[in-house]
Chains A and B, each alone.
Chain A
Amino acid sequence: MTQKKPLIVLFQCQYCLASSLDQYWVEQELPENVKRVKVPCSGRIDPLYILNAIQGGADGIMVCGCMPEKCHYKEGNLHARRTLNEFRNFLNTLGYPQERFVFHWMNIDERGVIQPLLASFEERLKRSKDRPRLANRMLNQENG
C-alpha cells in the first residue's frame, strides 16, 4: 500500500530563502505535496490564513520568516512571532497538535536549509498522522 504524502503549506516571507539557488528551488523544484504561499513579510500572515490552510486539507503548516532583528520592514516579524506563536499554542490546547505547525526563523544568508527542513517536517508529519484534527472543509463536501 503506497502511503499518501502529507500535504504541507509553506508560508514564505519574500526576504527569506533569498539566495538564488534556494529561490530557484522553491519556485521550480518544490515537491508536489508542498504548496507555497509567498507573502511580503511574515507579519502579513494572519492566523486566519493558517486556519484556512488547515481547514483546506493541509497536514502541516510551515512558516518561514526572518530573525527578529533582520526584518525588512523592521518589525513585521516581531508581530508575527507573538501572534502566530500564541495561535499555535491555542490550537495545541484545542487538540490540534503543535508538531503540525512549525516556524523557521532564519537569517537572510542561510542557504540550503529549506530542503532538509521540509524533509524532516514531512517525516514528523507521517509519524503523527493519527493525532486529532480540526474539521476539514473537504470532508464537508464529501459528506454533502
Chain B
Amino acid sequence: MPNTRDQKIQAEAKRLLQDGVVDVVIGFQKGTLPYKMQPCFISRADEVAKLTLNGLCSNNLAVYLNHWPKGEKTAIIVRGCESRAIQTLVLENRHARENLYLIGVPCIGILDLQKIGQQELQPVLAVQEEGDQVRVTFGNGEKLFKRNEALHDACLHCNHPQPLNADVVIDEAGLFEDGSFDKSYLHAFRNLSAKKRNEVFRAEAERCIRCYACREACPMCYCEECFVNHSRPQWIDSTIAPSGQQGWHIIRAFHQTGRCVSCGACERACPMNIKMTYLTDLLNQDMAAEYGFEAGLDAAAAPPFLTLGEDKGKFTGEQEEDHAN
C-alpha cells in the first residue's frame, strides 16, 4: 500500500528519468523476504512504481557509487547518513558531485530486525509500519512493537538524520530532529576498567566468522585490495583465530577514523550480530575532540588523517618530556 512519501519519491524519480536529467535512479524496492527491502536500479520511467522507502531499508545506498562509472548521471535516494557518506566519497574523489542528483528524504529511522524478529522463534511473515507502531506478523500471530524501541542502535544515536546538500528534499516530516545524539553509551564504555573493556571487545570479536559482509556493506570500504586479502605478506590471520578476528575489527575500524558516518550498515549486515559501530564511534569521538572534525558535514574539509599539521603541544606525553633537550 503506497503511502504519500513513496508517491512523492516516485513522482520525483519519474520526472528525472522522463526529462533525461539522470540515466538511473538508485533506490529501494520490495525484496523477496517480507522484512527486507532490496536496493534497485531504475532506468525506465515506467518502472518507478517499484520505488519505496520505509524502515526496512537497511542498506546504505552510497556503497554503489564506489564502483559506479563516474560519468553516468545518477540520482540516488538519500537519508541523512547516505548524504554524509556521499559527501565524504565525493571529497575522496570517488564520484563527481555534478553527475549526482540527490533526492533527500528526512530520515524515518531503520528498524532493527533483531529487536523485532528474534524474540520470537517464529518466521516473520509481514512487517507493517503504522505511525508510532510496528505490526509484525509471525507464524503464530501478530505482535505490536513501539517504533522507537525497535529502531537500530545506530539510528537512536544518530546526530544528523536530515539529508545534507541534497538537490531536492522530499517534503515529509522525518522522525528525528538534528542533534539528538546520545553519546552516553560511549562514555559508559570508556569508564569501564581496561580489563572489562578488553573483555567486551573480545566477546564481540570472537563471534566473527570473517565473512566480510561489514566491509561490503560499508560505503567507505572501497579499497581494490583489502589488507585482509593480502597473502604475501599476510598481515592478519585469515582464519577465525582470535588474533585474526581482533585484528580485523581493530584495523577495519581504524581505517574508518574520521571517515565513518555512523550509518550502522556494517552492523545490520553482520550475520553474527556483532556490535561494531561502537569502535568507529569511539574513533569519531576522538577526532571530534582533537580536531573538531565530523565526517561528511563539510563538503570541503578533509579528514584529519588526510591533512597534515604540526599539532604543536598536542602529543606531549611523558615520553616526549623524558628526553626534552
Contacts and interface: CB of A to CB of B under 8 A. Distances in A.
Contact of B310 (A48, A68, A113): A68
Contact of A90 (B241, B254, B319): B254
A96 B198 contact: yes
B241 A135 contact: yes
A136 B323 CA distance: 32
Contacts of B305: 79, 82-83, 86
B227 interface: yes
A3 interface: no
B315 A81 contact: yes
Nearest to A95: B198
A7 B310 CA distance: 32
Interface in B299-325: 304-305, 308-312, 315, 317, 319-320, 322-323
Contacts of B286: 86, 89-90
A33 interface: no
B235 A48 contact: yes
B309 A117 contact: no
B194 A131 contact: yes
Interface string B262-294: 000000000000000000001100110010000
In this complex, the interface size class of chain A, counting residues with CB under 8 Å from chain B, is 35 or more
B194 A132 contact: yes
B15 to A, nearest CB: 45
Interface string A41-65: 0000001100110010000000000
Given A86-B287, A94-B198, 5 more contacts: A52-B235, A89-B286, A93-B189, A113-B323, A132-B194
Interface of B: 189-190, 194-199, 201-202, 227, 235-237, 241-243, 245-247, 250-251, 253-254, 257, 282-283, 286-287, 290, 304-305, 308-312, 315, 317, 319-320, 322-323
24 contacts: A51-B235, A51-B250, A68-B311, A78-B310, A78-B311, A82-B304, A82-B309, A83-B257, A83-B305, A86-B283, A90-B250, A91-B250, A94-B197, A94-B250, A95-B195, A102-B317, A103-B320, A104-B322, A105-B320, A106-B323, A117-B323, A134-B243, A139-B243, A140-B241
